[in-house]
């Protein structure tokens, strides 16, 4: 059900009790009004009725005055007649005066000459006898006078002398007097005032006065008079007009007065008020319903427009609300919807960004895997070819020697590739801790250049360096990684015969390492992205895309920065690392002599034949005395025979873990000096920590180079 | 078809170049190596080889361009393409090379025996 219908119903429901109450009040008001009207009408009826009595009583009084004339007592009819004529002349409505004996025999009648035969009154007036016996004046009914031949009535007064009725004086009166009396009442023209005699014949009437005289009163009036001498009834006139009628019959004369008031006159005021009430109520209801309709439109329109606008939420578009709603709840709703639309939009945008990031990461991963596969295929192809040469050639021939060199370089290359791969993951995850020491950046760079030159990696390029000592507080291994990766990058992207420059110097409070080449250069947009993981310039193919990323992260780990610059494609590139410089340390006289340069008794514990052979050869070539064991038990047996100075122990032995071997050796050594070096395939910090916990002094990650082995032995306590 | 003797080996990886040269020489081929397309063309003009063994990637030029230029200048030279795969995961340069109707393709790393058999079959 729409809101409008609810509001309209609500309004009607609120109005209904008011309407009922108003109806009840109106009913009582109407009843009150009708009662008031009735009382007024009855009072007026009483007044007119009294006037009618007074008029009749006036005639009686006049007759009583005539009765005191002495001529009556003396039987002087002629004098009486004369006096009566004079009175008749003063009473315009009287038509006759007569005098009769109590028997009804007339002895004087002014309408007849004296001596003329006269009818007996008792014969045509039924009231005569009882009235004479009662000795009271009375008014006769309306009759056609036997003398006048007209409708008239008589007022009769018994004349009492010596305790008995001697005569009866009568005045014959024309009904016109009553008509004038009614006219004097100023009754409204549509009302019917009527005077009737004791026989209910109409004496005077305001409507149709001439035709009505002598007629019987209406049936309803006669019925009402039969029920009660005084009252109020609802009936109809002789003409059939529906009237309310107050009436009253006089006790003294027996005559009655009634006043027919048309029903519409009584009801007009009431029905007018009722109509006004109905119209007013209906009008009020119409106004209320219209108001409710417009108010509901004011409510429902903004809600409907909100509902329409919310479609935008589903589409992830902003919620447009034409006008700020004036209803505070709707405004709150609108604002909540706008908020939720914004939230939905933001979430969609976030999802879209995440999706794009995931897709980008996925692409990067695919490219990384492709590049990794490419990077592994070249060294593997070289190793395969070199192994083939070793298989088919005399080991002493130059070809075999070159093939071995190829194998050595390519294994080292792959080892560093794998180390870089692991490192970039660990650096990215923040798992790399720096073992800082104060070192000369120039010295580290110089060592790297010497090593690379010695291994022949610079033979196709012109590599030169300019190195000024500058000290940094850094992890030596990581700085070596930085230098190696920058050199590797320069070699990879510089054609044969072109030049590469390495420069280390102090600049302000920084130590700067600069590697410049005459290689393929960088496009302007590549100078920033070249340090991103797995990103390669479009014209820089063949790299893993991790070397420079590792350089950047390692430099940042040291609180340094790195940037690249190029004048464009094939114009060369400059890669610069800047680290915070520290003061040069005081010169130490006993600067780490290589105490164990040779001549140590070394116990080598390694189950892999190739690794054991290689390490044995390295140790032997450095002048150490080497004993070998393939498992923990035989190592412990050899140590028990003759304690070594140093034990190199592989962690993954077939019978027990290298940690266990170290613990037992350490336990059996007592106070004697013993250097323990762990060899593992893992270089994670937790592996190193576990090795140190087990009593190892140093930790080497496979593959072990001669250089690192020498360093490890030199670093033993 | 005359006996194949002279081979021009082109790859930008020095060690791979060296190892393949040694392996082929051990099989009595005469091998000349080049690190780039430019170098390869210069060498070929000086002394044409019977077979060109080339990587598809090189620093100064798309390997496909090298193949096209050899086709034009030295139509008699056989071409063997070796590749370590593309930078894009779904690109296979060897398929493209086959479409260019080279004489043979090899995916790195390959057994030397396979290369020798390929050369013998030409």
> Domains in chain B and their CATH numbers?
6-121 (3.40.50.2300)
Flag whether A295 is in a domain: no
Inter-chain touch A370–B20, beta carbons under 8 Å? no
Structure tokens at B113: 């025996």
- pLDDT for residue B89 is more than 70: no
Q: Is A633 exposed, middle or buried (0-12, 13-18, 19+ CB in 10 A)?
A: middle
- The CATH number for A224's domain is 3.30.450.20
Q: Are residues A87 and A170 part of one domain? A: yes
One domain, residues A354 and A486:
no
Write down how long chain A is.
717
* Interface membership of A590 toward B (CB under 8 Å): no
Q: Enter the ipTM.
A: 0.90
Residues A524 and A651 in one domain: no
- What is the structure's pLDDT at A328? 84
Q: How many distinct structural domains can be found in chain A? A: 4
Does residue A300 fall inside a structural domain? no
Q: Kindly state whether residue A409 falls inside one of the protein's structural domains.
A: yes
pLDDT score at A589: 43
- Look at residue A296 and tell me if it is in a domain: no
**In chain A, which residues have pLDDT < 70?**
269, 322, 533-545, 587-598, 670-672, 683, 717
Whether residue A603 contacts residue A647, with contact meaning beta carbons closer than 8 Å, is answered with yes
Read off the CATH number of the domain in which A454 is found: 3.30.565.10
Considering only CB atoms, which chain B residues are within 8 Å of A536?
Answer: 87
A667 and A608 share one domain: yes
Contact between A386 and B19 using a beta-carbon 8 Å cutoff: yes
Instruction: Looking at the structure, tell me whether residues A55 and A187 fall in a common domain.
Output: yes
pLDDT computed for residue A538 by the predictor: 47
pLDDT for A96-123, tens place per residue? 999 999 999 998 998 888 888 888 888 8
Residue ending a domain, among A416, A432, A448, is A432
Q: Check CB contact of A451 with chain B, cutoff 8 Å.
A: no
Q: Compute the distance between CA of residue A228 and CA of residue A234 in angstroms, rounded to an integer.
A: 14
Instruction: Kindly state the average pLDDT of the residues B67-81.
Output: 90
Indicate if A145 and A49 belong to the same structural domain: yes
Domain that holds residue A344: 310-432
Give the mean pLDDT of B84-99.
63
Query: φ, ψ for residue A664 (rounded to 5)?
Result: -70, -40
* Torsion on CA atoms A512, A517, A523, A527, rounded to nearest 10: -20
CB contact under 8 A, A370 and B87: yes
Token couple for A384: 């395969």
Residue corresponding to tokens 């494609």 = A569
pLDDT (average), residues B59-74: 78
Q: In what order do the strands lie in the sheet with B30-34?
A: B30-34, B6-10, B51-55, B78-83, B104-107
Q: Do both A53 and A111 map to the same domain?
A: yes
Sequential DSSP letters for A288-355: HHHHHHHHHHHHHHHHHHHHHHTHHHHHT-----SS--SSHHHHHHHHHHHHHHHHHHHHHHHHHHHH
pLDDT average, residue stretch B58-73 = 75
Q: How many residues does chain B have?
A: 122
Q: What 3-state class would DSSP assign to A713? A: helix
pLDDT given for residue A322 in this prediction: 67
pTM over 0.90: no
The closest CB to that of B60, out of A378, A393, A495, belongs to A495
Q: What pLDDT is attached to residue A325?
A: 76
Predicted confidence (pLDDT) at residue B2 exceeds the cutoff of 70: no
Identify the domain boundary among A398, A432, A466.
A432
DSSP state of A295: H
Q: Is A224 within a domain?
A: yes
Say if A542 is an interface residue toward chain B (CB within 8 Å).
yes
Residue of A377, A410, A520 with shortest CB distance to B84: A377
Strand (E) or helix (H) holding A674: none
Question: Do A142 and A266 fall within a single domain?
Answer: yes
Shared-domain flag, residues A8 and A63? yes
- Among chain A residues, the shortest Cα distance to B36 is held by A495
Q: If you write DSSP's letter for every residue of B1-48 in order, what string do you get?
A: -PPP-EEEEE-S-HHHHHHHHHHHHHTT-EEEEESSHHHHHHHHHHS-
Contact B85 A370 (CB under 8 A): yes
Examine the domain organization and report whether A560 and A610 are in the same domain: no
User: Would you call A383 and B19 a contact, using CB atoms and an 8 Å cutoff?
Assistant: yes
The reply to whether A293 falls in a domain is no
| Residue in A604, A716, A709, A617 with CA at minimum distance from that of residue A650 | A604
* Secondary structure E strands in A116-173: 138-139, 143-144, 151-161, 164-173
Which residues from chain A sit within 8 angstroms of residue B43, using beta carbons? Answer: none
Mean pLDDT value across residues B33-62: 83
Q: Report yes or no: A417 at the B interface, CB cutoff 8 Å.
A: no
Residues in chain A closer than 8 A to B61 (CB atoms) = none
CA distances from A703 to A433, A535, A610, A650, A680 (A): 21, 28, 11, 12, 9
CATH number of the domain to which A393 belongs: 1.10.287.130
Residues A561 and A606 occupy one common structural domain: no
Q: What is the pLDDT of residue A551?
A: 92
Q: Which residues of A touch B22 (CB under 8 A)?
A: 385-386, 389, 393, 399, 402-403, 406
Residue A504: what are its φ and ψ, rounded to 5°?
Answer: -125, 130
SS3 content of chain B, % helix, strand, coil (to 5): 40, 20, 40
Cβ pair B15:A382 closer than 8 A: yes
* pLDDT over threshold 90, residue B24: yes
Residues of A in contact with B109 (CB under 8 A): 377, 380-381, 383-384
CB contact under 8 A, B108 and A379: no
Q: Is residue A596 part of a domain?
A: no
Q: Which of A379, A389, A460 sits opposite B23 (nearest CB)?
A: A389
Same domain, yes or no, for A501 and A409? no
Strand partners, B99: none
């Amino acid at each position: 059900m729409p809101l409008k219908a609810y509001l309209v119903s609500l309004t009607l429901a609120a109005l209904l009790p008011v309407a009922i109450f108003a109806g009840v009040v109106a009913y009582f008001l109407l009843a009150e009004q009708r009662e008031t009207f009735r009382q007024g009408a009855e009072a007026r009826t009483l007044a007119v009725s009294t006037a009618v009595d007074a008029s009749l009583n006036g005639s009686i009084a006049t007759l009583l005055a005539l009765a005191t004339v002495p001529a009556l007592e003396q039987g002087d009819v002629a004098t009486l007649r004369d006096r009566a004529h004079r009175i008749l002349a003063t009473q315009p409505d009287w038509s006759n005066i007569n005098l009769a004996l109590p028997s009804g025999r007339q002895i004087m009648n002014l309408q007849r000459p004296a001596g003329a035969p006269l009818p007996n009154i008792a014969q045509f007036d039924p009231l005569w006898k009882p009235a004479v016996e009662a000795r009271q004046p009375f008014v006769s009914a309306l009759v056609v006078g036997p003398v006048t031949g007209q409708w008239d009535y008589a007022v009769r007064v018994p004349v009492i002398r010596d305790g008995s009725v001697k005569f009866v004086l009568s005045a014959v009166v024309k009904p016109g007097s009553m008509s004038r009396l009614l006219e004097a009442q100023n009754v409204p023209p549509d009302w019917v005032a009527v005077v009737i005699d004791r026989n209910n014949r109409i004496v005077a009437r305001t409507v149709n006065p001439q035709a009505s005289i002598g007629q019987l009163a209406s049936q309803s009036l006669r019925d009402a008079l039969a029920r009660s001498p005084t009252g109020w009834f609802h009936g109809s006139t002789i003409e059939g007009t529906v009237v309310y009628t107050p009436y009253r019959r006089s006790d003294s004369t027996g005559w009655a007065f009634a006043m027919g008031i048309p029903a519409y006159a009584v009801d007009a005021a009431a029905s007018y008020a009722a109509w006004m009430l109905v119209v007013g109520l209906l009008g009020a209801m119409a106004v209320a319903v219209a108001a409710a309709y417009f108010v509901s439109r004011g409510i429902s329109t903004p809600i409907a427009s909100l509902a329409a606008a919310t479609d935008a939420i589903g589409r992830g578009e902003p919620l447009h609300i034409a006008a700020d709603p004036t209803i505070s709840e709707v405004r709150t709703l609108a604002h909540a919807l706008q908020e939720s639309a914004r939230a939905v939009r933001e979430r969609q945008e976030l999802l879209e960004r995440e999706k794009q990031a995931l897709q980008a990461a996925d692409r990067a991963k695919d490219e990384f895997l492709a590049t990794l596969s490419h990077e592994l295929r070249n060294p593997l192809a070289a190793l395969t070819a070199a192994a083939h040469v070793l298989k088919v050639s005399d080991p002493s021939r130059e070809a075999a020697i070159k093939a071995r060199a190829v194998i050595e370089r390519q294994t080292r290359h792959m080892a560093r590739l794998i180390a870089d791969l692991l490192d970039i993951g660990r650096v990215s995850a923040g798992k790399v801790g720096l073992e800082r020491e104060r070192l000369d950046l120039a010295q580290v760079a110089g060592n790297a250049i010497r090593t690379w030159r010695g291994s022949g990696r610079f033979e196709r390029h012109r590599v030169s360096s300019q190195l000024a000592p500058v000290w940094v507080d850094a992890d030596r291994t990581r700085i070596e990684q930085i230098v190696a990766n920058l050199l590797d990058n320069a070699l990879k992207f510089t054609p044969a015969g072109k030049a590469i420059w390495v420069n280390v110097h102090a600049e302000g409070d920084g130590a700067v390492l600069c590697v410049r080449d005459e290689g393929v250069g960088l496009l302007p947009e590549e100078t920033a992205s070249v340090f991103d993981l797995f990103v390669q310039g479009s014209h820089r193919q063949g790299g893993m895309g991790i070397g420079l990323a590792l350089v950047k992260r390692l430099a940042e780990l040291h609180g340094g920065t790195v940037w690249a610059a190029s004048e464009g494609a094939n114009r060369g590139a400059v890669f610069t690392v800047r680290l915070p410089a520290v003061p040069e340390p005081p010169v130490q006289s006993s600067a780490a002599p290589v105490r164990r340069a040779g001549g140590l008794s070394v116990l080598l514990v390694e189950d892999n034949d190739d690794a054991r052979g290689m390490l044995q050869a390295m140790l032997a070539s450095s002048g150490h005395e080497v004993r070998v064991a393939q498992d923990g038990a035989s190592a412990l047996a050899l140590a028990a025979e003759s304690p070594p100075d140093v034990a190199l122990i592989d962690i993954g032995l077939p019978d027990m873990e290298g940690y266990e071997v170290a613990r037992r050796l350490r336990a059996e050594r007592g106070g004697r000096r013993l250097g323990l070096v762990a060899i593992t395939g893992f270089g994670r910090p937790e592996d190193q920590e576990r090795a140190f916990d087990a009593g190892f002094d140093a930790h080497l990650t496979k593959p072990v180079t001669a250089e690192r082995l020498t360093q490890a032995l030199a670093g033993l306590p | 078809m005359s006996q194949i003797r002279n081979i021009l080996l082109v790859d930008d990886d020095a060690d791979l170049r060296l190892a393949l040269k040694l392996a082929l020489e051990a099989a009595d081929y005469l091998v000349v190596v080049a690190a780039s397309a430019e170098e390869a063309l210069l060498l070929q003009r000086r002394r044409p080889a019977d077979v060109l063994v080339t990587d598809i990637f090189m620093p100064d030029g798309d390997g496909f361009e090298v193949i096209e230029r050899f086709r034009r200048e030295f139509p008699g030279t056989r071409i063997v393409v070796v590749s370590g795969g593309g930078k894009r995961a779904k690109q296979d340069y060897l398929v493209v090379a086959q479409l260019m109707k080279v004489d043979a393709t090899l995916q790195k790393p390959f057994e030397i025996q396979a290369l020798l058999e390929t050369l013998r079959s030409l």
